[in-house]
Amino acid sequence: MKPNGTSLNVKANGIELDEMIGDEHISTSIDTPMRADAFELSDDEKILKIEHHFSEIMKTMGLDLEDDSLSGTPRRVAKMYVQEVFSGLNPANKPRVALFENKYQYNEMLLEKNITVHSFCEHHFVPIIGVAQVAYIANGKVVGLSKINRLVQYFAKRPQVQERLTVQIAEELKKVLDTEDVAVVIDARHMCVSLRGIEDQSSSTITSSYHGKFKTQSVKDEFLKYAQ
């Protein structure tokens, strides 16, 4: 980064590094990159700042913010960013997950299938849309089914790279359930692929994270059969 805050366009083999990272969907961290002062501003303060800056973006593109259709757009976008699509950045929004005794003594695989994934690519801030297959084998405790969906949504509601999202969901479930026996597969379409760049309308990306018994081929095969 240059001292004035603008991008430093380092080149590798003649290609600007920032473009190369974005087009190749490279993730730089397992954790979502966050500044130390990320939560010093309140949500209302963040909305005001984003509203101002998004107004400037629209003006720079030549849009007339005096038009009735556009005048409220900067605030709508700001509220959407803070309160909805990026609400997973704030740990205060992390869902509380209660565990229950496994009174049924159910010790087989539990699969929550086709969980909706709506996220945003951190390289271009356009949508990632797909489904997640999440499974675990209980280690004495079980979790309410809706909590699995809520955890997926929590980690999806932030700027993401699909590989990181997959790992974050798996690691959180391992911690919550106190078991290594967790599997996560995500199949998603990236609008940064279909709307720009290569403009491929039909491809999707599949990522997986297998742990514990799910690394065993027979268990993995069972999971994939159910997840079809």
Residues with a catalytic annotation lie at 121-124, 162, 190, 192
Both structure tokens of 94: 């992390």
Q: Give the contacts of 185 (CB within 8 A, at least 6 positions apart).
A: 132, 133, 166, 206, 207, 208, 209, 224, 227
For 168, the enclosing helix (H) or strand (E) is helix 162-177
Q: For 44-102, give the DSSP string.
A: HHHHHHHHHHHHHHHHHTT--TTSTTTTTHHHHHHHIIIIIITGGGSGGGPPP--EEE-
Q: What is the number of residues in the chain?
A: 228
Does residue 208 contact residue 166 with C-beta atoms inside 8 Å? yes
Indicate if the alpha-carbon torsion angle 86, 82, 80, 20 is positive or negative: negative
